[in-house]
Amino acid sequence: MLIRLALASLFLATAAARAAEKPNIVYILADDLGYGDVQALNPVRGKIKTPHLNRLASQGMTFTDAHSGSSVCTPTRYGLLTGRYAWRSRLQRGVLDGTDDPPLIAEGRLTVPALLKPHGYTTAAIGKWHLGFLSERPNAVTTAPSAAKKKSQMGESGLPVGSRIIGGPTTRGFDYFWGCSNARTMSGLIENDRVIESLPPIQMLPRLERQAGNYITEHAAAAKTGKPFFLYVALTSPHTPILPTPEWQGKSGLSAYGDFVMQTDAVVGKILAALDEHGLAENTLVIFSSDNGCSPQADTPGLEKQGHFASAQFRGYKADIWDGGHRVPFFARWPGQIKPASTSAQLICHVDLLATCADLLGAPLPPNAGEDSVSILPALLGTDRAPLHEAVVHHSIHGMFSIRQGPWKLEFCPGSGGWGAPFDADARKRGLPEVQLYDLSTDIAEAKNIQAENPAVVARLRALLERTIAEGRSTPGPRQQNDVAVKLTKPAAPPAIE
Ligand SMILES: [Ca+2]
């Protein structure tokens, strides 16, 4: 009895200490950075120097089996902020438009910043949003300005400066937003809910770096006196347009893409330096990852010819259902809590952030939140002894599904499900099977489809995915509703580039 009481009080004390610590959380999400673009993850077949990401690897934990919720931007970001797979929303394939696409995150749905705020956190998103918003133009443009004036007023994706953003980040849990809607239409800059200026893409990354640094500086004092911050830095690089600033051009000796990756790495370095400068590194959980794999638009064949494999040993690239589409770099650093230079082979997913934050705070999630989110805190603290996820679901740009459990990966399309060869339509014409099953423990390159030899595994994983879809959640808890009817298989889509 005494022992039990002692254990209970120890547990409570630990939970209280954990809650009292309330680390700052800095989540840096690169855009289209491949697993193999990070030198520390790809020492043999990677040719790009990434000293700052290497530093994160040596100071924290490297996850070697981390996945974005999707092989493309929008759905990954939805899952990261809500803890729910985006294919449960209206978005069944592809990405949102830059602007005037209704917000994908429903009003009232619990997000990571909305979870953290009542626990004393200040919350900010800096960078790329790409989760939709509506807009309201200022009256000025209705008075037919001159062509020159009109041009000077053009901001985000044609939105005039002064336009109001409706349903953007500051309505979804963030106290502050500074950024753009997506990388392609980042000609305009938004602060909170206003388009504040037009901005040539080449200026975005340096300004984003400065803005993140300024945010840390401005919030350092408060962070040290019990008001921690959650800073979500969604970088716009190395996504197209591939525009390294002049000081980075030619640095990689590979290509503009290689230079842009190096500049991206340097931005991470600047953010880490800002934490150091203000004495915040010790009590800050830093997570770095990417929203999907490297894009073929980076000229991946050209890079491969020079010996650089942006997907490392994995098959495919951005948009695909194969691991090159969604297995991403993932580093977590929290001095004193996470063992330096450690590695975790846990199968994890970006949807895990919400449950991880809830676990950190000792705050249970309501039944209608984080339906697919699993706390990775045990992995971070090195106390995990079994798989955290029963399975993880992957999704390609064309909405093709895959389910992963242990070494097994079952894919519900005959080809890449994305932009890689063979396209699904071509694979079908060639008579390739409608599903692909790989044993990643012996075939990490997903080279040999062994579905015909393993009908029981195929049936079991298919049933598990069907149940995961039907239940509206993949975590324990009451059944939830998907926003639309979700189809397990879809017709092959044309290989359009997003
Ligand atoms: Ca992306």
Q: Per residue in 242-289, pLDDT tens?
A: 999 999 999 999 999 999 999 999 999 999 999 999 999 999 999 999
DSSP one-letter code for 494 = P
CB count within 10 Å of CB 139 equals 8
Kindly give the distance from the C-alpha atom of residue 296 to the centroid of ligand 1, in angstroms, as a whole number. 12
Q: What torsion, rounded to 10 degrees, do the Cα atoms 40, 317, 200, 270 define?
A: -20
Determine the pLDDT at residue 423. Answer: 96
**Residue range 147-153: mean pLDDT, rounded:** 47
Does residue 154 register a pLDDT over 50?
no
Kindly give the distance from the C-alpha atom of residue 323 to the centroid of ligand 1, in angstroms, as a whole number. 15
At residue 467, what is the residue type?
R
Distance (Å, whole) CA 479 – CA 474: 9
Kindly give the distance from the C-alpha atom of residue 115 to the centroid of ligand 1, in angstroms, as a whole number. 25
**Predicted confidence (pLDDT) per residue in 57-85, tens digit:** 999 999 999 999 999 999 999 999 999 99
Kindly give the distance from the C-alpha atom of residue 8 to the centroid of ligand 1, in angstroms, as a whole number. 45
Residue labelled with tokens 């443009």: 141
CB count within 10 Å of CB 447 equals 8
Report percent pLDDT > 90 for the chain: 83
Kindly give the distance from the C-alpha atom of residue 286 to the centroid of ligand 1, in angstroms, as a whole number. 20
Does residue 137 register a pLDDT over 90?
no
Does residue 4 register a pLDDT over 60?
no
Kindly give the distance from the C-alpha atom of residue 33 to the centroid of ligand 1, in angstroms, as a whole number. 8
Kindly give the distance from the C-alpha atom of residue 90 to the centroid of ligand 1, in angstroms, as a whole number. 19
Does residue 206 register a pLDDT over 50?
yes
**Residue range 120-126: mean pLDDT, rounded:** 98
Determine the pLDDT at residue 151. Answer: 45
Kindly give the distance from the C-alpha atom of residue 383 to the centroid of ligand 1, in angstroms, as a whole number. 32
Q: At residue 250, what are phi and psi to the nearest 5 degrees? A: 85, -5
At residue 363, what is the residue type?
A
Higher pLDDT, 79 or 144: 79
Kindly give the distance from the C-alpha atom of residue 31 to the centroid of ligand 1, in angstroms, as a whole number. 4
Q: What residues does the ion ligand 1 have nearby, CB within 5 Å?
A: 31-32, 73, 291-292
Kindly give the distance from the C-alpha atom of residue 293 to the centroid of ligand 1, in angstroms, as a whole number. 8
Distance (Å, whole) CA 418 – CA 149: 41
**Residue range 81-109: mean pLDDT, rounded:** 92
Does residue 7 register a pLDDT over 60?
no
Kindly give the distance from the C-alpha atom of residue 292 to the centroid of ligand 1, in angstroms, as a whole number. 5
**Predicted confidence (pLDDT) per residue in 395-413, tens digit:** 999 999 999 999 999 999 9
Q: CA 357, 352, 208 angle in degrees (round to 5)?
A: 75
Kindly give the distance from the C-alpha atom of residue 479 to the centroid of ligand 1, in angstroms, as a whole number. 31
Determine the pLDDT at residue 352. Answer: 98
Kindly give the distance from the C-alpha atom of residue 80 to the centroid of ligand 1, in angstroms, as a whole number. 13
Q: How far apart are the first and last CA of the chain?
A: 62
**Residue range 314-324: mean pLDDT, rounded:** 98
- What's the Cα-to-Cα distance from 125 to each of 29, 81, 216, 278, 448, rounded to whole Å? 11, 11, 12, 20, 42
Kindly give the distance from the C-alpha atom of residue 147 to the centroid of ligand 1, in angstroms, as a whole number. 34
**Residue range 296-301: mean pLDDT, rounded:** 96
Determine the pLDDT at residue 156. Answer: 42
Say if residues 30 and 264 touch (Cβ distance below 8 Å): yes
Residue whose C-alpha is closest to residue 264's, from 163, 398, 127: 127
In three-state secondary structure terms, 149 is helix
Say if residues 29 and 235 touch (Cβ distance below 8 Å): yes
Kindly give the distance from the C-alpha atom of residue 138 to the centroid of ligand 1, in angstroms, as a whole number. 31
Determine the pLDDT at residue 185. Answer: 58
Determine the pLDDT at residue 12. Answer: 45
Determine the pLDDT at residue 412. Answer: 98
Look up residue 60 and give its two tokens: 């924290």
3-state helix, strand, coil split of the chain in percent (to 5) is 35, 15, 50
Kindly give the distance from the C-alpha atom of residue 454 to the centroid of ligand 1, in angstroms, as a whole number. 34
Distance (Å, whole) CA 59 – CA 341: 6
**Predicted confidence (pLDDT) per residue in 207-234, tens digit:** 999 999 999 999 999 999 999 999 999 9
Kindly give the distance from the C-alpha atom of residue 146 to the centroid of ligand 1, in angstroms, as a whole number. 36
Distance (Å, whole) CA 267 – CA 482: 38
Determine the pLDDT at residue 11. Answer: 44
**Predicted confidence (pLDDT) per residue in 438-472, tens digit:** 999 999 999 999 999 999 999 999 999 999 999 99
User: Which H/E stretch holds residue 455?
Assistant: helix 455-471
Distance (Å, whole) CA 170 – CA 193: 7
**Weakest-pLDDT range from 5-9, 217-221, 343-347, 355-359:** 5-9
- How confident is residue 490, by pLDDT bands cut at 50, 70 and 90? confident
Chain centre distance of CA 494 = 25
Determine the pLDDT at residue 411. Answer: 98
Kindly give the distance from the C-alpha atom of residue 319 to the centroid of ligand 1, in angstroms, as a whole number. 9
Kindly give the distance from the C-alpha atom of residue 221 to the centroid of ligand 1, in angstroms, as a whole number. 34
**Residue range 185-214: mean pLDDT, rounded:** 85
Strand partners, 135: 165
Does residue 186 register a pLDDT over 80?
no
Kindly give the distance from the C-alpha atom of residue 19 to the centroid of ligand 1, in angstroms, as a whole number. 33
Kindly give the distance from the C-alpha atom of residue 196 to the centroid of ligand 1, in angstroms, as a whole number. 24
**Residue range 486-498: mean pLDDT, rounded:** 72
Kindly give the distance from the C-alpha atom of residue 87 to the centroid of ligand 1, in angstroms, as a whole number. 17
- What's the Cα-to-Cα distance from 431 to each of 108, 396, 415, 434, rounded to whole Å? 46, 21, 11, 9
Kindly give the distance from the C-alpha atom of residue 217 to the centroid of ligand 1, in angstroms, as a whole number. 28
**Residue range 190-211: mean pLDDT, rounded:** 88
Kindly give the distance from the C-alpha atom of residue 49 to the centroid of ligand 1, in angstroms, as a whole number. 21
Determine the pLDDT at residue 2. Answer: 47
Q: What torsion, rounded to 10 degrees, do the Cα atoms 89, 93, 98, 103 define?
A: -10
**Weakest-pLDDT range from 3-7, 415-419, 453-457, 466-470:** 3-7
Kindly give the distance from the C-alpha atom of residue 385 to the centroid of ligand 1, in angstroms, as a whole number. 32
Mean of the per-residue pLDDT values of the chain: 91
Kindly give the distance from the C-alpha atom of residue 78 to the centroid of ligand 1, in angstroms, as a whole number. 12
Kindly give the distance from the C-alpha atom of residue 62 to the centroid of ligand 1, in angstroms, as a whole number. 21
